[in-house]
Structure 1
Amino acid sequence: MNTPSPTMPTAAAASVTRTGDMWTLVPSTADGEVLVVNHTGHQIFQHCDGRHSASDIAHELAEMTGVSADDVIEDVTRFVHRLAAAGLVAR
């Protein structure tokens, strides 16, 4: 099931803090949601810079991890939507 993602997701202003192997992403708006993510989630968030589509991010992630982009595109797309719902990525 493919879910459309923002064409070029752009990270909204957020505070990012690393604690051990996890990152805490805190949106700058009061109605946002704090997310605690692993290394992969942080990599995806970092690539939400307005220059990369979800497909681009999936290809970069696949290259870094040695898996097929086809295997990760749905997960990346869902995670970008999750970031948007939390107020961490502008739609």
Structure 2
Amino acid sequence: MEATAPWKLAKDPEAASRLDEVLNAALECLRVGAILVWPAMPRAAERLWGKLGLEGSPGDGPLAGTAVFGTFPATTVAKGDPLFPRIEA
């Protein structure tokens, strides 16, 4: 995310297509991540799944679904509390 800097792309109207690509890739990573962590952290994975606006549960489909990249549906991402609290040192 830092390398692609979507917050900078959002300020450039000519970079709209690139911004779409960057955000879609980030959402796909989160979708796949939710599926992969679901067996160990089902509640966190399901909260993430819901925030992504996806139906069902990350444990509903086969694990092979993680091999298909680029299928994130058009959806509205929900704002909310962080999945994990920040640890202060």
Structure number with greater CO (CA < 8 Å, separation at least 6) is 1
Q: Identify, as 1 or 2, the structure richer in strand.
A: 1
Q: Identify, as 1 or 2, the structure richer in helix.
A: 2
Structure with bigger gyration radius: 2
